[in-house]
Each structure stands twice: as C-alpha cells, then as structure tokens.
Structure 1
Amino acid sequence: MSTTGSVPVSLAEIARIAGVGRAAVSNWRRRHDSFPTRIGGTDVSPQFSLAEVERWLRENGKLDTIGGRELLWPRFEALGSRDESGLAIAEAARRMRSPRSRTSPVELTPGAEELVDEAAELGRTEGARETFEFLLQRWLETHVRQLSTTPPPLAALMARIALGVRVGSGDGDRSGDGNGNGNEELTVLDPACGTGHLAAAAMRECAGPGLAVLACERDPALAALAAARLAFVADEHEARTEIATADALREDPFTGPRADIALCNPPFNERDWGYEELATDQRWTHGLPPRTEPELAWVQHLLAHLAPGGAAVVVLPPAVASRKAGRRIRGSLLRTGALRAVVALPPGSAQPHSVSLQLWILRAAPDGPGATPPGQDALLVDATRFARAGTRDSGPAWEALDAFVLSALEALDRPDTDPPYGAVRVPLIDLLDDEVDVTPGRYTSLSTEPSGLELAKTWKELGSVLTDLARGAQRLAELRVETDRPQTMATVGDLVKAGALSMRAGQQPPDGTTKPGAASVPLLTVSDLLTDGTPSGLVAPGTAPVIAEPGDVVVAGVVRAFKAWVHEGPPTALGPQLHALRVDPAKLDAHFLAGCLRAPSNGRQAGTHASSSSRVDIRRLQVLQLPLAEQAAYAEVFRTLETFEEQLVSADGTGRGLVSDVTDLLAAGGLDV
C-alpha cells in the first residue's frame, strides 16, 4: 500500500505529474471547488497532499495514466535528509539490478525501506536504468547548491583528451572512438568521483574488453550513487568497477594500481585538505603543496597514480595557474614535462558557471628505450571564445569547443605543426620566470589580431549583408497594412480540438543519456535559445519523449525566450518548456501558424505573469482564421520578416566585431598615416 498521504507537493510538481504547465494547474485550482485544499506552504507557494492530488487527477480525467516515476519522486524528497534520500535511491538501484538481494548495505528508516521496495518494483516494470537516472537527476536538481557535477559534454571531452594525449602501447592502443575495438587493458582512475559523471564518460569513450574503472568519493551518499550509476554503465560496456568510500588524499585506497588514464574534478579552495598530516607524503615529488593550494595536491596525487606514459586531465580554477604560492610547483611540473598543456574553458562549462575554468593536461614520463624526453615547451589553449551569450549557466557551444580543443592538442608532440588560432606553443624559458604564470590568455592574446586580408574579407561580408538588408527593407516598406480590419481569431487549444494540429510538450531526458555517435539526436533547450539557438546536447532517440521533425512548428513557452518557428533541421529532441505543433497541411500552413504565434502581443496576452521567467500558456495563443489560400500570402511575408531579422542580427554581430578589431589595431599603432 502506497503511503503518500503525508507527502506534500507544490504546483510545479503537480504540473510535472500531470504533464501540463503550471498555469494549467493554477486554473484547475481556481475553477474547481473539488481541487485539494492547501496543507502547507504559503499563498504564493502552496503545498498539497500527494494522495489527494493523485485521486483528484484520476477522478477528473486530467490524465489517462499517471507516471509512476513522477509520483515516486516527491516521496523520496519528503525523506528530508539529502543523504537519506540519496542512499535510498542508490539502494533502489541495487535492488533493481539484484531483485533477490534484500540485505541493504546501509541502514534505512522503515519509510525509506518501503519506498526503496516500491522504486525497485517500478524499475523492473518501467526500466531499471531509466528509473534510476530519473530519480538521480531529480535528486541532483534538488540539491544543486550543495553539489558540484561535471556536465556530460565536458566529461566526454576530458576522456577524449586523455586518450589522445596518453602515450599508447602499440597496436592495441585504443583510438578513443568509443567502439571498443582495442584489445588493450586499460585502467581509469577518478579519485574524487562525486556521483560518477567523469567515470561514466570514461567508460563510454574507452569502451572495450579489459577496461577497469577505479573511483573514490569521501561522501557516502555520493559514493553509493556513483556505484549505482557505474554498475549500469559497466553492464553496457563490460567494464570492471571498484568504488571506494574514502578521502583520497588522506586515505588513498588505490596505492597499488597504476592508472593509464586519470580524470578529476576536485573540490576547490578547501583549506582543510590534510596539510599537516600529509607533510611528508611521498606523492609530493614536485614539492609540498602550500596550505592554500589544495588543487596542486590533487595534481600531484593524479601524477603519482599514473603508469609510465599515462595521462591525466583535471578541472581547476583559473587562479591555480598564476597564484604566487604555487609557482615553485608549477615550475617543477613544467621542467619535468609533467604539465603538457593548459586549456582555458569558456564560462559556463561547469560549476561555478561564472568562472572560466581550466583543464590541466598532465602526462607521466614514458618508460623504455624509445621513451620521449620531457618536452621543451607547453601548449596553452584559449578556448574562451566558444562561450555563448545569454544566461551564465547556458553552457558553451560544445560541438565547436570539442573540435577546437582536440585539434589544438594534435600539435602537442609535433614541433613542426603550428597550433590553430587561439592556441600557442610557449617555450619553457618564457614560462619559467618569476611568476611561472600558465594562464593561456596571457600568451594567446598577442596573436589574436586579425590580418589585413581577414579584415578586408569581413568588411566585404558586412557590405553584402547591408545590401540585402536595404533590399528587404524596401520590399517590406511597400506592404499595404490595414489596422482596423476585423478578424476572427482561434486559439491553439481550439485548433487542437478541431484536429487542425496536434501539440506535444518537451521534457528533460534522463541524465546520463547524452552520448556521441550516430545513434543520437540533438537536444534543444530554452538555454540554447537564449544564446545562439544551437542545440548544446545529444540524447539517444529512445530517451527523448518529444522529437521535432522537419515541418513541425516549435514554440518556446517561457516569456524570456518566447519564440515560434518552423523546424527545418534534422530531427531534434525538445527539452522542458518547448512544444512541437504538427499541422494538418489541408487546414493550416506551418509558416503562417508560426508567424501568428510569434507575434510579441500574442506572447504577452498568453503569459501567466509579468516576470521574464513566467510561462506562456501555449493553448491560449491566438491564430488568425483564414482560408488556406490566404494563409500562403501571409506565410510568405512572415518568412520575409524572419529573414530580415536574421540579417539584422548578422549585421549587428559582424559590425560590432569589426569595430572591436579595428579599435585594437589602432590602439596598438596600426594606422598607416
């Protein structure tokens, strides 16, 4: 028997359970006297009984079947403690994979035990991995302020870098294509694994027989969740995993194994990392890390666990590259060839999102008679230009960033190869000064000025865009527009009832489904629309609830990114607050529909509140009622306006870039007078 009576849920959670917008739930509450009464919270953020909500939804036919996972999550959240809910989710995953195992390795309350059994049963019905990933993602979202995770695209990039930089062992060396074609045994280490994002990415990128993953996490709840996640991934890729619950710096559980690849996103700015008790530790071959430099302790920890020729990639805050206290250790890392490259990432790549984090790429000296001596220079890569404007946590243009960084690192061991624009090979003599500053921007900024030919080409492009703009403006100015003609309107909800179109609401795919390869589709989110509109993620097709096909009208149902357009690209998965409308071509023209929907006044009247973060009730958006033949004429003008707007944006960006470049050149004395 489900015990949901005392579990509180918010309006947002009710909307998720019912698969509708929050505005719809508010309307139900306002219009139906039978809607459950508030049991807690405030007038602004009321809470309701989950059991009463479930019963009301069923009795009023608001949904055919209630999603079991959505009903399950509020009960996990109601456990209260972050640790108890996390341990319960991990235990549920273990029982999903081993139904006969009833002995829990952790002590849970009776309520948590009952919930674990229900979750395990649901997982065996609706998919064990999908159910676990859903619960894990909700848990991470709930405790996002207390946790720091590595975004899947960054984790995958780090694994690819390590595979490429590592000195291989002949024919068995893995290419990093993730297809498991290599036969070489490979050991991967993550000594601060959190919930296992990096280790999971490593398993996907390094897939193949003989793969072993060693991970360590000092937080018991995070370690349990990491073990659960990696067990599912290991089943898929036939890997061996060992997850230890320990403080890797103070109680290193993997002193014996030597890793071929190490990946790490360590905790930042921790003063109590073990400075006193570890003062004589043998790992500090480059010097005892100062108390204020815990990140350099993690760097040396990784190097101490690498096999000869092994590679490590670690995420670090930018201050580690220049702080005075760490210059002696940085100098030793450079002189011995251990620090091979530093990559400055765009802001938004990982938490904290407002900071341009760095990837330090480390390599242990190769062994044997053919070993390459330590390098005489280091590669510094400034990838900050791949940031996308908009919200600070929107993330960079991952596909372009990935390609650029991997291309730049190809020049690492090729002295005769010039690094691409934005990367520079710096001799050690230039780095080993009084500061030993390895910040990429300090060295790459000197070579970023465009050439005269590049400037001339850009000016020509701007002139072409301005010519097209003038022609478009002339055509639009000749339109005859009447303001007082009466027109009949229909809402999207009316059109759905009439069968003129169907509507589907996008959702967040389960965490962990992001993966490269042919068997994936782009994932578009509201954050992407706030930048350049390019999808920033990839998901497996089977995990995406809604995929927009060419010809569908996509609508963003949030005020800050309100937009409607006809999708013309490849099939694309839609995230939360995005909607796909599929028209009946015998009744509606898709471009006519998109043009009507994206009218700013339409979005304002359908918005639920005045704030930019409020939602737009898509069903309330209005559309002109016109015969199909007249719709075509409107559609043509709408498309012309859309093209005109795109040209305006292009001209603005190109013009601003030219002003910036020419100003820099003039300030440097580049005017020929």
Structure 2
Amino acid sequence: MSTSSSVPVSLAEIARIAGVGRAAVSNWRRRHDSFPSRIGGTDVSPQFSLAEVERWLRENGKLKDVGGREFLWPRFEALGSRDESGLAIAEAARRMRSPRTRTTCPDLSAEVRQLVGEAAALGRTEGPRETFEFLLQRWLETHVRQLSTTPAPLATLMTRIALAARIGEPEEGLTALDPACGTGHLAAAAAQEYDGSRLTVLGCERDPALAALATARLGFATEERDVRTEIVTADALREDPFAGTRVDIALCNPPFNERDWGYEELATDQRWAHGLPPRTEPELAWVQHLLSHLKPGGSAVVLLPPAVASRKAGRRIRGSLLRTGALRAVVALPPGSAQPHSVSLQLWLLRAAPDSPPAAVPAQDALLVDATGFARPGTREPGPDWDALTSFVLSALADLDHPEADPPESAVRVPLLDLLDDEVDVTPGRYTASHSEPTGTELATSWKELGSLLTGLTAHVQQLSELGFETAAPQTTAAVGELVKAGALTLRAGQQPPENGSFSEDTEVPLLTVPDLLMDGAPGGLIPSRTAQTVAEEGDVVVAGVVRAFRAWVHQGPPMALGPQLYALRVDPEKMDAHFLAGCLRAPANGRQAGTHASSSSRVDVRRLQVLQLPLEEQAAYAETFRRLRDFETLLSRADSLGKGLAGDVSDRLAAGGLTP
C-alpha cells in the first residue's frame, strides 16, 4: 500500500506499528544514524514521516507480523476532521462489503476517496469486518473525549435484561430500537443476542458520522443472518423518524445533562404521559420516549446518571412511573462501567403494561439492585468484573415478576408506599444498605475474631518488646546488585503482559501489579502461563520497586506473574535465608536511600538496596524476628480493618434502635 510522506506519526505509533515498546523505538533512534529525521512536533513529542518510517522498518528488519492496518490508520488520522475520518471509515466499510457500488458520500475529496479505495482493498484481503473494527476502535480512541460509547459487555448486559423482561413472545419477529445509537454498540448487541428469526433493528442518531459508522457496524453484525436494519440521521426527541412505531425492546444510552433538548417546542408532545420533563431533566424525556415506542408488555433498558434517581425536579415523573408500574427495576453499576467512568451509573428497566398481565406480575413494588461492589480490584482505572456483574444482575432480575422469591443480597423489593415519599428516591444504595445489615450472630463472630486478633497482638508485643540491641560498630552491608554478581541470588524484573496474548489456554497464573498492592495486595487478574514472562515461585522474595508502594516479602502459595516495577529475587539457600533477605530489604530506611523521591511514583533502584552481611547460621535469628514483625504487622492491619467495620456496623444497629439492656 502506498503511503504519503506528509502523514506524521509519533514514537508511540511507530512502536505500535512495529509491535514493540516505545523505549525500543527511542533506542533505535539513538543508535541508528539512518533512522528518519523528525518532520514536526517537539523534542519531547517528535513526529516522523510515515513513508520514511515504513521504509526504515522494512530495510532494518524491524517489522515482524504486522499487517497493513497499522500503516492505514495514521492516514485516516491525518485527515484531521473527526467527521471526515469517520465518514471515510464508514464508506470504506461499505465498499469492503459491496465493492461495485458507487460512493454514498459525494462530498469526500479525491484524496479521501483514494484512501477509502485502498482501505477497502486491504479489508477484502485481511478481512473486511476485522479491518473495519480495527479502524473504528482507533477512531473511537482518538476522539474519546468527544464521544460517549457503550462498552460491549454493558451493551450485552442491557440487551439480555431487555429480552428477559418482556412479556409474551413476538408474533411477527422481534423489533428492537435504539433512538440515540451512536456508533451502534447497543444495536449490534441486540442483533447478536437475539437468537430467534425475523429480527428488525431500528436506530436513530443525530450525528451523521456516527450514524454512518452505526450503519456500517450493523452491516457486518447482520451479514450472516436475515436481519433488517435501519439507521436514520435525526434528532429522535425533536423529529422522531419512527413516530407511531411500536417495538418489543428498546435500548438507550442517551446524552447526559443536555439542557437544549427541545423543552420549548416539545411542551405539548403526546409522549409525556407521565408529565412534561423539566428543562433540567432531559434523561426523563428519553425515558418517556422509550416507553412511547413499546408494545404492550415490551421492555426497555436505559443507562442513566445516578442523579436522575433522586433529583427533586423529577420526583413527580418518577412517582408516576412507579405508580403505573412502568419503572420495574433500577440497577446501580460499579464506577467505570461506562463514561463518565468516575460515576456509578444506573440501569433503569422499564416495561409497558401488557394487554392481559399474568397474575404473578406485581404492580406495587420495584426491584432495586446495588451492584456497585462488583468493581475489579487492582486496576489502574475503576471498572467492573463483567462476568461476575452480569451473572449477578441477571440472577437478581430473574425473579422480577415473582414476589414470593427472595432477591439476592444487595437487592431488595421496595413496596410502592415506601418509595412514594417526599423525595421519590429510587437510588438502590438507599434501600439495600439496611437490607444487608449483619445479624447478631455475625456481629458476635466478628467480635470473637477481633478478640483473638488482639490476643495474638498482645503476644507479639510481649515478644518483640523483649528484643535487646547493643551499641556496636556498624555492620557491613552489600547491595543487591553486588549479591547478584556474587551468585548469592538472582534478580528478575516483572514485565507488562502482551496485549495480544492468547487467553484460550487451559493454564493461567495470577498477575500481581503495583495497583493491586495499592488496592488490597491481592493479584487483580489472570494471564495465560505462556505469556507470563516473570513468575515468582514459592520462597522467592518479591520487591515493589516504586516509592508509593515499596515493600518486600517472601512469596507463599502458587506461582504468580509479576507486572512492571515488581521484582523477583531467588536466593541460593546455601548462602542466604529468604526471610532474612526480605526483612533487610523492606526496612523503610533502605527504601528511602534507594529511591529518587522526585514524586510519589518515583522508582526504587532495587539493585541499590542494602543487605546486612552475616553468615548463614547467624541469619536464622534475624529471619525469625523479621517473620515475627511481619506477622505483627499483618495482625495489626486486620485488627484495624475489622475494628473499624465493627464500629460502623454496631453504630448502624444502635441508630436503628432495638438495643437489649
């Protein structure tokens, strides 16, 4: 494929093209005089010619198994305009599937049309769907601050909820609607999850570029099935292109906090069966828009910010939704489930009244589910454990229409009379907190455990307080780097696992990262054993080489992969005791002298850490004392956590009354 010499690429993009880290590219640039010269950017963030980079990589054998997609994307990005690049990707996708048809975007320039043609040709060679998804994902990543998308696992969850909640079977095939479809994540999930025949997927999007990309996505999602799709470019609230159409399920991730949603011109719209949404409540306009399109017994799932459940301005509409049985359930999601990632978003499950409701369907309660506890620990950014979250939510909603069934923990059926107070607050956490209060037996067990911990602490205090220290000449020490050279131990640095590693293997090992240590100290993920480059075995000393999480300990348990800034030290048992080594390394003064302290993320030079030089037989007493200190610290941490939890639980019980004198 031809490339343009005017297309700039950064060091990070070169690294991605070559399948290496950015540091490797910096080394190439420093060591090879033939490396392309900078054509733009700054000294800190230089830019290079894509054509020259491609030529240099090929001539120097730096390209491994990289396809043409990596060289293709920078040319789309160089178009500059978000809309132009988006429309170009959509047009390329259409031509990948139908190469003989004419362009549907006559406004594209000749240069862009040439790029579209080359992209279509590449897609037919390397896989149309794969090429489109690659370009779309890069486009979304580039414009992430301007776009709000629905993550694929969330789209799947929303679709499964809607399919399971509808009453009755569709007589003429299922019809699904997304009135704010964006690039089509929810619409594609509906096409994928529905396994029946005769499916119709309708979508509406006011942004032409997003609508074109959604059309392209659905074209690939439905090419193996007989599915009718229709994506219309329009503002669904102001000019509903599907007015009068009734659907079996509706899915929506509407724009949040938009004041200019059409309040004035839509004041008398017939969709507001539950009341005119206030100007500050556009989300409740979308809720009623969805309800107006549902067939009797049809269901809708909409993603909303948590404030919609409690804002004073919307209480009248919330009350009407509850009284009519339209709002059946609210699910609070963990932070990080979708943009904005810092907020615990909510799923509202809506349902239109069926023509002849089954006797089992209650109309006087709502199911509130608090799933905020399903965040994945140990990650740099908050996000849910999708498998566990999906299983829990679907299980909690499975008995939606069976009031005799007990909901799982963190879910509660709230009677209508309890909800229709002065606030009409449907926030799940407001009601599930009291639902999951510890019982008297559980409190007694916790108090007993705390007493045992305090007893153990007292024993450790007595033993450690008897330690004696004599004033003596300073002992000699050796740096870890010197011990490695002497063969007393080996040092291995943790690595970032490959992003494209295969996850289909049978054997996996836990992966520990620095964020895991800052969270709760437990490994936060699993990776295939084949991709684990540094694995700590039982008895190895693990060191965290970053100031904010500096620590060292002897690993106990099954093998564990180590991420960046973690190190595994394996001792020669004839020369050194592992517990003695860990105790020396984890001394706070040791970390201070080996760290840079420029910031909280500064690294500790593990090779500079000092170890006391003692014969192996003398190390045993030190090792035993180091172990005792570690046990004392563990007990102290557990007692602190348990004691604070008990204080909070007992305070809640006291405030609720019922104290037995």
Instruction: Measure the CA separation in 2 of the matches of 1:98 and 1:621.
Output: 63
Partner of 1:336: 324
Summarize deviations over 1:73-95 as a string: whole Å, max 9, x none.
11111100011111111111112
Q: 1:501 to 1:80 in 2, by over 3 A?
A: same
Find out whether 1:38 has 2:11 as its counterpart.
Answer: no
Partner of 2:80: 80
Within a 5 Å distance, the mapping from 1:476-495 to structure 2 comes to 484=477
Give the C-alpha shift of residue 168 in structure 1: 2.9
- Cα pair 1:262 1:311 within 8 Å, conserved: yes
Indicate the SS of the match to 2:20.
coil
Partner of 2:270: 282
Summarize deviations over 1:549-570 as a string: whole Å, max 9, x none.
9979999999989999999999
Partner of 1:437: 425
2:324 maps to amino acid:
T
Summarize deviations over 1:606-642 as a string: whole Å, max 9, x none.
9999667799999x999xxxxxxxxxxxxxx9x9999
Gaps of 5+ in 1: 174-182, 492-499, 582-590, 623-636
Indicate the SS of the match to 1:414.
coil
Give the C-alpha shift of residue 327 in structure 1: 1.9
Within a 5 Å distance, the mapping from 1:176-575 to structure 2 comes to 185-368=173-356, 375-388=363-376, 393-459=381-447, 484=477, 506-508=497-499, 529=516
Alignment: residue pair count: 623
Partner of 1:116: 116
2:128 maps to amino acid:
A
Instruction: Measure the CA separation in 2 of the matches of 1:67 and 1:471.
Output: 64
Moved more, 144-153 or 526-535: 526-535
Indicate the SS of the match to 1:139.
helix
Summarize deviations over 1:369-402 as a string: whole Å, max 9, x none.
7577760121222222334566784212333322
Give the C-alpha shift of residue 436 in structure 1: 2.1
Give the C-alpha shift of residue 339 in structure 1: 0.8
Moved more, 281-290 or 430-439: 430-439
Instruction: Measure the CA separation in 2 of the matches of 1:338 and 1:51.
Output: 58
Indicate the SS of the match to 2:248.
strand
Instruction: Measure the CA separation in 1 of the matches of 2:315 and 2:259.
Output: 18
Moved more, 202-211 or 46-55: 202-211
2:317 maps to amino acid:
I
Give the C-alpha shift of residue 649 in structure 1: 7.7
Instruction: Measure the CA separation in 1 of the matches of 2:108 and 2:375.
Output: 44
- Cα pair 1:506 1:545 within 8 Å, conserved: no
Instruction: Measure the CA separation in 2 of the matches of 1:126 and 1:670.
Output: 69
Summarize deviations over 1:284-339 as a string: whole Å, max 9, x none.
11122222211111111101111111111111112212222222221211111111
Indicate the SS of the match to 2:384.
coil
- Cα pair 1:507 1:545 within 8 Å, conserved: no
Give the C-alpha shift of residue 100 in structure 1: 2.5
1:347 maps to amino acid:
P
Give the C-alpha shift of residue 142 in structure 1: 0.9
Partner of 1:165: 165
Indicate the SS of the match to 1:235.
coil
Instruction: Measure the CA separation in 2 of the matches of 1:90 and 1:265.
Output: 21
Indicate the SS of the match to 1:6.
coil
Q: 1:656 to 1:116 in 2, by over 3 A?
A: farther
Instruction: Measure the CA separation in 2 of the matches of 1:141 and 1:325.
Output: 35
Partner of 1:126: 126
Instruction: Measure the CA separation in 2 of the matches of 1:324 and 1:561.
Output: 43
- Cα pair 1:524 1:534 within 8 Å, conserved: no
Partner of 1:149: 149
Indicate the SS of the match to 1:261.
strand
Instruction: Measure the CA separation in 1 of the matches of 2:372 and 2:220.
Output: 34
Instruction: Measure the CA separation in 1 of the matches of 2:233 and 2:382.
Output: 32
* TM-score normalised by structure 1 residue count: 0.76
- Cα pair 1:394 1:531 within 8 Å, conserved: no
Q: 1:350 to 1:672 in 2, by over 3 A?
A: same
Instruction: Measure the CA separation in 1 of the matches of 2:557 and 2:120.
Output: 41
Q: 1:667 to 1:329 in 2, by over 3 A?
A: closer
Q: 1:307 to 1:227 in 2, by over 3 A?
A: same
Indicate the SS of the match to 1:356.
coil
1:5 maps to amino acid:
S
2:39 maps to amino acid:
I
Indicate the SS of the match to 1:71.
helix
- Cα pair 1:558 1:577 within 8 Å, conserved: no
Indicate the SS of the match to 2:341.
coil
Find out whether 1:664 has 2:652 as its counterpart.
Answer: yes
1:338 maps to amino acid:
A
Indicate the SS of the match to 2:223.
helix
Q: 1:642 to 1:335 in 2, by over 3 A?
A: same
- Cα pair 1:528 1:535 within 8 Å, conserved: no
Give the C-alpha shift of residue 354 in structure 1: 1.8
Summarize deviations over 1:595-614 as a string: whole Å, max 9, x none.
9xx99999999999966779
- Cα pair 1:259 1:306 within 8 Å, conserved: yes
Give the C-alpha shift of residue 248 in structure 1: 1.0
Moved more, 401-410 or 140-149: 401-410
Partner of 2:93: 93
Partner of 1:19: 19
Find out whether 1:4 has 2:4 as its counterpart.
Answer: yes
Within a 5 Å distance, the mapping from 1:608-627 to structure 2 comes to none
Summarize deviations over 1:643-665 as a string: whole Å, max 9, x none.
99999987775555344324434
Instruction: Measure the CA separation in 2 of the matches of 1:506 and 1:132.
Output: 26
Partner of 1:587: none
Instruction: Measure the CA separation in 1 of the matches of 2:127 and 2:509.
Output: 23
- Cα pair 2:332 2:369 within 8 Å, conserved: yes
- Cα pair 1:549 1:567 within 8 Å, conserved: no
2:230 maps to amino acid:
E
- Cα pair 2:535 2:559 within 8 Å, conserved: no
Q: 1:367 to 1:439 in 2, by over 3 A?
A: same
Q: 1:417 to 1:110 in 2, by over 3 A?
A: same
Summarize deviations over 1:328-375 as a string: whole Å, max 9, x none.
221211111111111222222211122222111100111137577760
- Cα pair 1:86 1:222 within 8 Å, conserved: yes
Summarize deviations over 1:189-246 as a string: whole Å, max 9, x none.
1111111111222222223322221111111111111111122221245433221111
Instruction: Measure the CA separation in 1 of the matches of 2:390 and 2:167.
Output: 21
Partner of 1:631: none
Summarize deviations over 1:482-503 as a string: whole Å, max 9, x none.
9746887899xxxxxxxx9999
Q: Percent identity?
A: 70
2:145 maps to amino acid:
R
- Cα pair 2:591 2:604 within 8 Å, conserved: yes
Indicate the SS of the match to 2:222.
helix
- Larger-gyration structure (1/2): 2
Instruction: Measure the CA separation in 2 of the matches of 1:78 and 1:433.
Output: 56
Give the C-alpha shift of residue 109 in structure 1: 1.8
